[in-house]
Chain A
Amino acid sequence: MNVNVSQLINDKVLAIIWRLSGLPFWRMILILSGCIFLLVAIFIILIKIVRGSDKTFVVSDGASMANTINASIYGLILAFFVVAMYDDSQKVQDSISQETDSLVAILKNSQKFNNAPQIRAEVKNYIRVVVDQEWPLMCSGKMDEAWALAMTVIDPLYKVIQEAKPQGPVQENFYAALPGVLHDLDAAHRERLIQADAHLPAQFWRIINIMTILAVFLLVYVNPWKGIMTLLPILIPSIVISFSLGLLITFHYPFIGPFAISNKDYFKGNLDFSDSANAMARVPITSHPLKQNFQKR
């Protein structure tokens, strides 16, 4: 029972983070700032009630010192995690580049083979499945379905390449490179799917939330209410805390939110099949499904 409740809370925490990640950036920041301001207000009222009308209350050096210690630890942990999440997001971008580079290498290496048009068609099919089916599943968090699709997406490429009949040293040497390219493609594809679902665990978020509450409380404690001007040294750090949490949330899921990784790499350069140099003769540019899809986006 305890496990189920804990699991439910974890799921809820991640669901809230997911929802916040999907919002427009400034709306998400406003919601976070709103939550923190609400906390500030509650703490101001609570401290006012507890202290009563004691106008002589002076914050001790010790309390300011405690605030420094608190801010150093909390601030640094938050800052390092924002950087770590940003690095993770860069790694996803790298794996997408590796995936598209492998597709280009397959196209280039196979252009002399007897079944080059079929290989080309399978590369296009791969891109179509990734862009039209897998990407929306990743962005909506349906990772099980995305994985189920991934199990089959690369198989036709393997099959068509294994059906080629390379002849002569040129074709045989280019063919020899293809197994390695296929490995890279599959590894990059799987890495993208793994990263799509990679995030900080719910327990981490709980700790960050508790630390945030404690940091805000101490901030209010060391700035006792003495009129509206007292709010300034509370609200400014609160806004900074909101922004930092906002950044952490933004990088939390690499495929959603304002900094979400786009699928434009699958249409660039040699993979832009609408380009006359790359287009297949029998596929008119205007009716190209990928081009249509790209224009819609």
Chain B
Amino acid sequence: MNFYNLFNSKVLEIIRWLDTIPFFEMIGIVIGIVFLVIGVLLILIKIFCKSEEEFGGAAMASEVSAGIYGLIIALILVSLYDARQKVEDGINQETNSLIAILQDSQVLNNASEIRAEVKNYVQIVIDQQWPLICSGKIDEAWVLSSKTINPLYKVIQEANPIGVVQTNFYAALPDVLKNLASAQHGRLQQANTHLPIQFWRLINIMTVLILLILVYGNPWKGMSTLIPILIPGMVIALSLSLIISVHYPFLGPFGISSEAFSKVNAKLLHY
């Protein structure tokens, strides 16, 4: 059981590591691994399949496999891309809530204290929480959550709204705070969301099978045999690279930046 867990965590560590290295380096490594598998399969098939007659029917088999494999890879890619968009939507909700707090509270007696807490929230997120999220230390990032939200609740609850205008704008703030907290929780939850390890195992096995059928259908007859194997091999490697690069929403070339929070800082300069 322990060995099993160790194996699982190793696979995810490798994917995380691949996501952090430069994009083209990562593509190079994935292509290299795919080509290595192709090399091994070529040798194995050369050793075990001597007769030409054994290759019949491979074309039909490949169409079925390619259809299913291609569809799954494309769907996963788009689904991970959508998941990344959802994380961005959550961050937008979080920054929108911070802006709403600034706008609603400007008529309140302690507007400057509320602004100071909003600034503090943004600083903690950019300087402390973001690096933790990017380095996968999600538990430590969760600890910081209360340091951002609680002071905002406290300072807003210390306000003394007077009159219809202040009372109505104040009445909107509890909902805004609730949205802010839920958006922050969503961001922290999504930071560690990824495809399950079992999924990766299936993808890897399917990739090996697709490569096997590709090599099986193109038995070695000289260097020119390699072209119809290596080109789909490269396309498969590029697709896997795309999946790896969108696997963790805050990492890699497609990683979400903290720019939205910098815009809240820019807004603070207007007060």
Tell me the bound Cα distance from A234 to B67 in angstroms: 21
Is B208 among interface residues, defined by CB-CB distance under 8 A? no
User: For window 76-123 of chain B, which residues contact chain A by CB distance below 8 Å?
Assistant: 77-78, 81-82, 85, 88, 92-93, 95-96, 99-100, 103-104, 106-107
Closest to A202 in B: B253
A211 touches B235 (CB 8 A): yes
Contact between A221 and B169, CB atoms less than 8 A apart = no
> Given A64-B59, A164-B165, are A147 and B266 neighbors across the interface (CB < 8 Å)?
yes
Contacting residues, chain B, for A88 (C-beta < 8 A): 85
Of A175, A179, A182, A190, which contacts B95 at CB under 8 A? A190
Q: Kindly identify which residue among A67, A74, A158, A204 contacts B254, using a CB–CB cutoff of 8 Å.
A: A204
CA–CA, A201 to B245, complex, Å? Answer: 11
Kindly state the separation between the CA atoms of A72 and B22 in the bound complex, as whole angstroms. Answer: 28
**Contact mask A56-80 → B, CB, 8 Å, 1/0?**
0000111111111110111111011
Are B232 and A70 in contact, with the CB atoms below 8 A? yes
Q: Out of A84, A154, A222, which one reaches B81, CB within 8 Å? A: A84
Is A66 touching B218 in the complex (CB atoms < 8 A)? yes
Given A147-B263, A154-B103, A214–B270 Cβ distance below 8 Å? no
Residues B168 and A204 in contact, CB atoms below 8 Å apart: no
Number of A-B contacts (CB under 8 A): 181
B267 within 8 A of A: yes
Q: Is B44 an interface residue (CB 8 A)?
A: no
CB distance from A214 to the nearest CB of B (A): 5
Q: Count A interface residues, CB 8 Å.
A: 61
Q: Which of A156-197 contact B (CB under 8 A)?
A: 158, 162-166, 172, 175-176, 178-180, 182-183, 186-187, 190-191, 194
Chain A residues near B (Cβ < 8 Å): 6, 60-70, 72-77, 79-81, 83-84, 88, 147-148, 151-152, 154-155, 158, 162-166, 172, 175-176, 178-180, 182-183, 186-187, 190-191, 194, 201, 203-204, 207, 210-211, 214-215, 217-218, 221-222
On B, residues with C-beta under 8 Å from A are 22-23, 27, 55, 58-59, 62-63, 65-67, 69-71, 73-75, 77-78, 81-82, 85, 88, 92-93, 95-96, 99-100, 103-104, 106-107, 164-165, 168-169, 171-172, 175-176, 210, 213-214, 217-219, 225, 227-229, 231-232, 234-236, 238-239, 241-242, 245, 253-254, 260, 263, 266-267, 270
